[in-house]
Structure 1
């Protein structure tokens, strides 16, 4: 027996005054409504209605039970409405994880526009260059810049591609010379990013389409690209960087691209979120906003 359905049937019978009217309101026959209430009485071990051929009346137990049913059903209806409203209007706190450079230099540029579009949302942004467990660490969504995503139960939506290039300051190149081929890098101070599988291995595609790999060395390695870019600006050496991170410095001439004829494999920007049949509105609108943003702009 579906006890909630029987409770709703009892309420309709009492409020509408007949089994037939209750059945019409519930989309059931009056026989089914009568059977539901009989099963409910059998379960409770108490008579709820005194029936005659033409009318009925609540018993003392029925009066008490009807009042309790009404309270319970009203509370359930209120809960349903609250959830429905929450589903319609994204609200609450959206916890986002992003790489340090991307979160502070790129995401921070358009996050205010997203928040202005959804005033009932709050964002808790955590930036770091370690791979977090979204479920274990309580994040709703993550942004990743990577060449290869590990196998995961998470949903991954590709948003854009980011060029990766070598850069150095004009001062460094004046003092140490400009590399013409990847092999020339062996004579240079190369600043390496440690959050990749092989930090010292830099791979390129040559003008003839062939892959070229060199193992580099240098005086500085770091787990954040911002530190490496800052060191390159200071003339310390040559480093790899994502195009979004150094575009202003490249435009101003504070950094120049090294080996432009030997491109490096780009990194892909993904948004990741847990697989859930009922995706929360706050995650849904964030993913849609980011997808539309990067579909309509030339990131590089």
Structure 2
């Protein structure tokens, strides 16, 4: 059993990208992880990791050993999944990656309610706008917005439809007038999302099922949707944002939705998980719950 424990910690250290991250996932100290790996190396008679003061990387022998250990660990995980699928209760730790703002305002509140319903369930929620690798980063589930690329190792299910809207503050509309059609947008100041070299174009569907790209004039580019919302409330220009984000500001009168009669851009939010013959009950529960409860929050 000690040998199996050492192998599982070794696999976790590889998947987590280092001893410190593995220790955090396993609720151990970094020293305990390091000592376990050292004992495993001593028993095998090879060095599995190259160690520096900042990081650990696999040796050639370590890569060879990891590939074979992973097969064994995956079989154990599959066996656990098959056993767990026969239980009624949902238990264990569920690790979910999600976009920062959408996750904080929409996904997390839904998933956190599951803790009240399932006392043996644990949640580990990560808020990050980058696309994670579920296998390498150790996540059970990821929430991704927009179109997905085909991937042979992943499964996906749409859990919500997000509708975009153009809005502005009453003060801005008083000064600059209300746009009546999409063609009016280029004559207005807009607050544009930009991250790095990527600048988001405002996209609207056309009656013939194509897409029309429109861009307002802009003197303000931000890489955070919440900051764009704040700037719109302050009267800096038109903003193109998801309805779930602007709902409270519209209800309070701080923002006004315009172009209501134009067909909105609607895109899916997907739950994504690793392909497996058996789905863990905790993953199925999370996906089913999101699909059932998110639509009412989309605005």
* Same-fold call, TM cutoff 0.5: yes
Q: Which residue number in structure 1 is paired with residue 16 of structure 2?
A: none
- Distance in 1 separating the partners of 2:117 and 2:259: 42
CA distance in 2, matches of 1:123, 1:216: 41
Please list the CA deviations of residues 133-169 of structure 1 after superposition, one character each: whole Å capped at 9, or x if unmatched. Answer: 22222111011221x2122231110122121111111
Asked if 1:261 corresponds to 2:286, the answer is no
For the Cα contact (< 8 Å) 1:99–1:128, is it kept in 2?
A: yes
1:287 match: 287
| CA distances 1:225-254 after superposition (whole Å, capped 9, x unpaired) | 222112111212211111111111111211
The 2-side partners of 1:279 and 1:94 are apart by 13
Q: Is the 8 Å Cα contact of residues 169 and 256 (structure 2) preserved in structure 1? A: yes
Match of residue 192 from structure 1: 192
Q: CA deviation at 1:261?
A: 2.1
In structure 2, the residue matched to 1:96 is 96
Q: Show the counterpart of 2:114.
A: 114
**Structure 2 match to 1:42:** none
TM-score w.r.t. the length of structure 2 is 0.64
Equivalent runs, 1:195-206 vs 2, <5 Å: 199-205=199-205
> Within 5 Å, which residues of 2 pair with 1:109-148?
109-146=109-146, 148=147
What residue ranges of structure 1 are gaps of 5+ in the alignment?
Answer: 1-79
1:107 to partner: Cα distance: 1.8
Runs of 4+ in 1 over 3 A off after TM superposition: 80-87, 194-200, 205-212
Q: Measure the CA separation in 2 of the matches of 1:110 and 1:82.
A: 24
Unmatched 5+ stretches in structure 2: 1-78
The question of 1:151 aligning with 2:150 is answered: yes
Secondary structure at 1:220's aligned position in 2? strand
Could you state the TM-score of these two structures normalised by the residue count of structure 1? 0.64
In structure 2, C-alpha distance between the alignment counterparts of 1:221 and 1:280, rounded to whole Å: 42
Residue 82 (structure 1) shift: 11
Indicate how the Cα distance of structure 1 residues 256 and 159 shifts in structure 2: closer, same or farther if over 3 A, else same. Answer: same
Distance 1:190 1:272, change over 3 A: same
Structure 1 residue 298: Cα displacement? 6.8
Tell me: CA distance 1:86–1:213, structure 2 relative to 1, closer, same or farther (3 Å): closer
Q: Secondary structure at the match of 1:219?
A: strand
- Larger mean CA deviation between 213-222 and 193-202 belongs to 193-202
Measured after TM superposition, the shift of residue 94 of structure 1 is: 1.0
Cα separation, 2, equivalents of 1:82 and 1:258:
49
Q: Could you say which residue in structure 2 is the equivalent of 1:273? A: 273
The range that moved more, 108-117 or 242-251, is 108-117
Q: How many residues get paired?
A: 219
Give the match for residue 239 of structure 1. Answer: 239
**Deviation string for 1:44-71 (max 9, x for gaps)?**
xxxxxxxxxxxxxxxxxxxxxxxxxxxx
